[in-house]
Amino acid sequence: MTTVLIIGAGDMGERVADGLAAGGRVRRLLLAGRSAVVDAAAATVASARDCLVEAIRLDASRQDEVAELLSRARPDLVVHCASLRGPWAMSGRSDPAARAIAAAGLGLRLPYQLPLVLSVLRAARDAGYQGPVANLSFPDVTGPVLARLGLAPTIGLGNAAMMQLRVRAALRAARPEQPAPLIRVLGHHAQVFDVMQARPPADPDQRCRVYLGEDGQRDDTLAYQAPPLAPGPRYNVVTAAAVLPVLEALLPGAAPLRHSTAAPAGLPGGYPVRIADGAVTLDLPPGLTEAEAIACNERMAHGDGVESIDEDGTVHLTAASRQAVAGIAPELAEPVAVTDLADRAALLDSVLA
pLDDT at 283 over 90: yes
Model confidence at 92: pLDDT above 90? no
Query: What would the pLDDT profile of 35-52 be if each residue is shown by its tens digit?
Result: 999 999 999 999 999 999
Question: pTM score, two decimals?
Answer: 0.96
3-state secondary structure of 149: coil
Give 91 or 130, the one with higher predicted confidence.
Answer: 130
Q: For position 332, what pLDDT does the model report? A: 95
Q: How high is the pLDDT of residue 1?
A: 82
User: Going by C-beta distance under 8 Å and a sequence separation of 6 or more, which residues neighbour residue 229?
Assistant: 196, 197, 235, 238
pLDDT band at 330 (very low <50, low <70, confident <90, very high): very high
pLDDT band at 9 (very low <50, low <70, confident <90, very high): very high
Task: For 226-272, write each residue's pLDDT tens digit.
Answer: 999 999 999 999 999 999 999 999 999 999 999 999 999 999 999 99
* pLDDT for res 87: 87
Distance CA 335, CA 180 (A): 44
* Helix H or strand E segment including 260: strand 257-262
Mean pLDDT for all residues in the chain: 97
The yes-or-no verdict on residue 172 having pLDDT over 90 is: yes
Domain ranges of the chain: 160-285
Average pLDDT over every residue of 151-168: 98
